[in-house]
Structures are given as C-alpha cells and as structure tokens.
Structure 1
Amino acid sequence: MSEMTTEPVVVVEVDGSAEDLRVVDYAAAEALRAGAELVLVAPYSAHSSFSPMTPGYPPKSPAELADAAVRAAVAHVRHRDGYGVQLAGITEEGSRLRVLAHVARKARMLVIGRSRSRGPQRVVQTQANLTLVVRAGCPVVVVPLSWKPTLLDRKVAVGIDGTALSAEALEFAFGIAASREADLIAVHAGVPAEPAFSDEDPECSWISRADHILSENLAPWTSRFPQVRVTRFLSGRQPAAALVHESGDVGLVVVGAHGGALPIDPVTRRAMAAMTCPVAIVPHRVTKAARAGRRTDVMIGGDS
C-alpha cells in the first residue's frame, strides 16, 4: 500500500476571468471539506510585449493583472464562504508550468480549469495539463469552466486497472468520497480476451478475473474507510470509453497516471480531454527500489 505524503494545502490557478471563479469555487469547497489552506496562484510573464502606450493593450502590466486576479479571487471566496477557509495569494513571474508545479509540490491537490477550446487547441491544452501532472507530483483536478455544484458531487468514480497505478488513485478517491459523504463507483473495464479454457469454468471467465482484481485492490481501502459505500462496475468497453461514459453520472472521476519520465497513459489523456465532469489525475510515485528493478530489467533485456 502506498501512502501519499501531502500537506494540508489546496492550490488553484486563477486568471482573472469570470468563468475562472467557478474553478475557484470548486477548490474552495475542497479546502473547506479537508480543513486545508487555499492557495490562489496567478503566474505571469515578464517578457510580454506589454507597453502602456501601445493601443489595444490593457493599462496594467502582467504583474499588476496577476495581482488583480488574485485579489478578485480572494474577495470572491470571502464573499461566498466568509472566513471558514484560510487563504493565501501568490503571484509569480515565470511559465505557467514552472510556477504551478513549484507551488503545488506536496499539496493535497492542484485545481485548474479546462479550456473550452476545440480541435488542435484542445489537444495542445490537454498535453500542457498532462505535463503539469508529471511536474507537480500531486493530484491535479481539471474542472470544466461550466462546473456548478450538483447532487452528482455525492458520487465519485475511480478507474482500477489492477496495476500499481491504482494504488494512489484509490487512496485519493476514497479520501474524497469520505470527505463528501459520497458513494464510490469502482470501474474496471477492458475488452474480454478469448477464454483459454471452457466457458463453463467460472474461474477462467473475464468477469471472475475482473471481480477478483477489484476485490484485491479495494480490500485495504474499504477497511480503512468503512463509511464509504462502494459499487463495483465491470465494463466490456475500452477503459477510456467506460470512464467517459461514467463521467456523465458522477461529480468526479479519478484516474491514475505514471509519474516521472514515463509517458502518460492514453486512458488518462482521453479522460482529461473528453470527460464532462471534473477529473482528478493522480500520479503514481515510483519507489527507488522499483526504479532500480526497472533499470535491471532493461539491462538484462539488453544483454539477451
């Protein structure tokens, strides 16, 4: 079992837009439930072509605009939630990727908005957010700009593939479900392979194997979070399609992702681009022992 080492901090990116305040609302609700500090971050670039004398440019510098965005977000949270949540505001010069990854290191979660863009722009934005997941090293929650609190927030879905990627995703999903007093839907999907033995042998059926995977992965967390009601969902669809379909009936979908230099799983990539609800991408932390073992496997494979 893997334990995530985090600090009681929820970090949210702010950009000063009216739509962005819905993302701030989401982050504030998570901070309130967790008893965590809410840190509002506005990265800005000092290398823009800003000039107060140039027609068409706003009358403020990038640093001033970032500061105004943070102040507006703080005022919005105070007006909506009072002083129930501790707030901090940060404006920092640098790329969005570097600043957010630095501030969110070891945070409970980083909350960002999902662009309304379509086509190639959506692909570019998704790739940038996936890179942020790897760099930040903490769960990243991508929230649609159209998000509003609904009764669906009382349902959380988590994808389980039976690999090490599921460990941190399950820990995060159970923690969120417990804080929301929500039901948890454990999703295991995949196209059933041709059976190696007779169809009459239930132990060799895909359903039996899938149910065994769920039982094995859920056991440590159901005992730790007995108050969370868990529903198992087995699907013969491709994993990404099953999770996207499930996203229409829940308030959050949680998936695991490789951390470090390993490529992002295509299921995670599609989840960030296509889901209709907030999606949490939880990076898997590879231990030193596992990393050393992987290196050994590569060396042995190279010698053969």
Structure 2
Amino acid sequence: MSTWNRTGPVVVEVDGSAEYLRIVDYASAEALRCGAELVLVAPYSAHASVSPMMPGYSPKAPAERADDALRAAVAHVRHRDGYATELAAVAGEGSRVRVLAHAARKARMLVVGRSRSRGPQRLMHAHTNLTLASRAGCPVVVVPASWKPCLMDRKVAVGIDGTALSAEALEFAFGTAAGREGDLTVVHAGLPAEHAWNDEDPDHSWISRADHLLSETLAPWTGRFPNVRVTRFLSSRQPAAALVHESSEVGLVVVGSHTGALPVDPVARRSVAAMTCPVAIVPHHVTATDHERISAAPRRPARRAGRSDVLTP
C-alpha cells in the first residue's frame, strides 16, 4: 500500500480567459472540500508579441497581463465563496510546464484546463499534461472548459493493472471518492473476448484471473475506506476505450503515469486526450525495485509495448 501522504495546497493555472474561470471554480471546490489553501498561478513569457496589423497598438507587458488575470480570478473566487478559502496568487515567468511544476512541488493537486484543440494537437496537449504530472510529482487534474457541478461529480472511476504502478492512482481514487461521499468504479480492461471463458478449465479463464487480481489489489483499500462503495468493471474493450466510455458516467476518471525518464505511456495519453469529464493524472513514484523490474523485462514488439501504468489488460 502506498504511504504517499498528499497534503499542501490546491494549485490551479490561470490564463486570463473567462472560460478558464470554470477551471478555477473546480479547484476552489476541491480546496473547500479538503480544507486546503487555493494557490492561483499565472505563467507568462517575458517576450510580448505585437501584431503587425496594428502598428499603433502597444499591448500590456506580459507580467502586467498575468497580474490582471490573477486579480480577476481572486475577485471571482471571493465573489463566489467569500472568505471561506485561504487564497494566494503567484505570477511566474517561464515556460508553462516549468512554472506550474515548480508551484505544485508541495501541492496535493494541480488543476489545469483541457485544450479545445482536436486530433494531433489534442494528443500533444495530453502529452504535455502527462509530462507536467511527472515533473510536479502530484496529481494533475485536467478539467474541460465546459465543466459544471453536477450529481455525477460524486462518482469516480479508476483504471488498474494490479501492479505497484496502480498504487498511487488507487490511493487518490479512493480518497477522492471518500471525500465526495461517492462511489468508485474500478476498471480492468483488455479482456480477450474470444478466450473469455475456458469451458474445460473455467477457474483459469481470463475473467477468473482478473477477478482474483482485483480482489487482491483492492483488499487493502476497501479496508482503509470502508464507506466507499466499489463496483468492479471488467471490459473486453482496449484500456483507453474502456475508460473513455466510463467517463460519460462519472465525474472524475483517474489514470496513472510514470515519473522520471520513463516514456509517456501512449495508452494514458490517448485516455487523457479523449475523456469527456475531468481526469486526474496520478504519477507513480518509481522505486529501485521498479527500475530493476523494468530493466529485467524482455523487450517486446512496439505493438505490444503500449502497456499503461494503470490501464493494462
């Protein structure tokens, strides 16, 4: 069982747009729920751009625009929640990933918005957020700009593979479900439909093995969070497709990710890019044992190498 104790503030990115205030609303609700400080962070570049189509236009300095965005976000939170939340606001010069990762180094979570882009650009944005989670070391919650509070927010889903790579994701998923007094759906996908049941030896079927794996993996967490109602979901879909399908029925989907120099998992990247609800990217803190296991594992063809931290069959 993981002993990673997530404390500290809830950090949220601010970009100055009106639609991004919904992302701030999500972060503010999480801060209120867990009694944490809310830290608003506005990354900015030191180099301003001037449009050649507007020769007489002199835009504000990037630092000034960042300060304006923070003031608007603080006023929005105060108008909505009064002084129930402790607030801090920080403008940081540099790349988005560097500034946010630095601000979230002691945070319990970092909240960012989801890009409205499509296709390859959406995948690239998902890749950036996975990298951000790896560098920040805390869960990164990616929230659609269209998010609004609803009854489904009480429902959480998490994908697991039964290995140590699932530990932090499970911890976060159970803790979030308990904090929301909601239900948790545990997804284990990749069932080979043509071999789902072995009539000659049903005890060794994929379903039997998967159910046993889930029982062993969940036992410590169900004991620690007895009030969380857990539903097991075994699926013949590919892992990413199974979680994306589940995202239409829950308020948060939790996926795992690598930290350090390990490559970003393509299954997790596709999942993050395609979710229809907020998704929490929870980094796995790789141990020496994990490194030994990865180094000793035989290399596989590229088609089979896309095994997710928490979403593998």
The TM-score, its normalising length taken from structure 2, stands at 0.89
3-state SS in 2 of match to 1:107: coil
Asked if residue 251 in structure 1 is aligned to residue 251 in structure 2, the reply is yes
Which letter maps to 2:134?
A: V
Question: Could you say which residue in structure 1 is the equivalent of 2:241?
Answer: 241
Per-residue CA deviation, residues 191-244 of structure 1 (Å, 9 max, x unaligned), is 327659952422111111111111111111110011111111111111111000
After TM superposition, list the pairs within 5 Å mapping 1:114-263 onto structure 2. 114-192=114-192, 198-263=198-263
Q: Assess, with a 3 A threshold, how the Cα gap between structure 1 residues 201 and 29 changes in structure 2: closer, same or farther.
A: same
CA–CA separation in structure 2 for the residues paired with 1:275 and 1:267: 12
Report Cα offsets for 1:240-295 as digits up to 9, x if no partner: 11000000010000011111111122221011110100000101001234435655
| Distance in structure 2 (CA, Å) of the matches to 1:66 and 1:83 | 23
Cα pair 1:259 1:285 within 8 Å, conserved: yes
Shift of 1:59: 3.5
Indicate the residue corresponding to 1:100 in structure 2: 100
Matched, 1:73 2:44: no
Contact 2:13–2:40, Cα closer than 8 Å, also in 1: yes
For these two proteins, the number of residue pairs brought into alignment is: 296
Q: Give the superposition deviation at 1:46.
A: 0.7
Matched residues in 2 for 1:249 and 1:37: separation?
30
Deviation of 1:107 (Å): 1.2
> Which residue is equivalent to 1:62?
62
In structure 2, C-alpha distance between the alignment counterparts of 1:56 and 1:123, rounded to whole Å: 38
Q: Distance in 1 between matches of 2:211 and 2:30?
A: 31
Secondary structure at the residue paired with 1:92?
A: strand
**Corresponding residue number in structure 2 for 1:302:** none
Q: Does the CA contact (< 8 Å) of 1:196 and 1:204 recur in 2?
A: no
- Specify the alignment match of 2:282 in structure 1: 282
Any unmatched runs of 5+ in structure 1? 299-304
**In structure 2, C-alpha distance between the alignment counterparts of 1:104 and 1:57, rounded to whole Å:** 36
Match of 2:306 in 1: none
Shift of 1:57: 5.1
TM-score relative to the length of structure 1: 0.91
Q: Within 2, Cα distance between the matches of 1:159 and 1:283?
A: 13
Give the Cα separation in 2 of the matches to 1:56 and 1:134: 43
Amino acid in the other structure paired with 1:230? V
Cα distance in 2 for residues equivalent to 1:86 and 1:115: 28
Whole-Å Cα distance in 1 between the matches of residues 141 and 20 of structure 2? 14
Give me the whole-angstrom Cα distance separating, in 1, the residues matched to 2:274 and 2:58.
34
Structure 1 residues 56 and 120, CA gap change in structure 2 (3 angstroms): farther
When structure 1 is superposed on structure 2, of 270-279 and 123-132 the one drifting more is 123-132
Partners of 1:286 and 1:18 lie apart in 2 by 38
RMSD after superposition? 2.1
Deviates most, 25-34 or 184-193:
184-193
Identity %: 75
Amino acid at match of 1:146: S
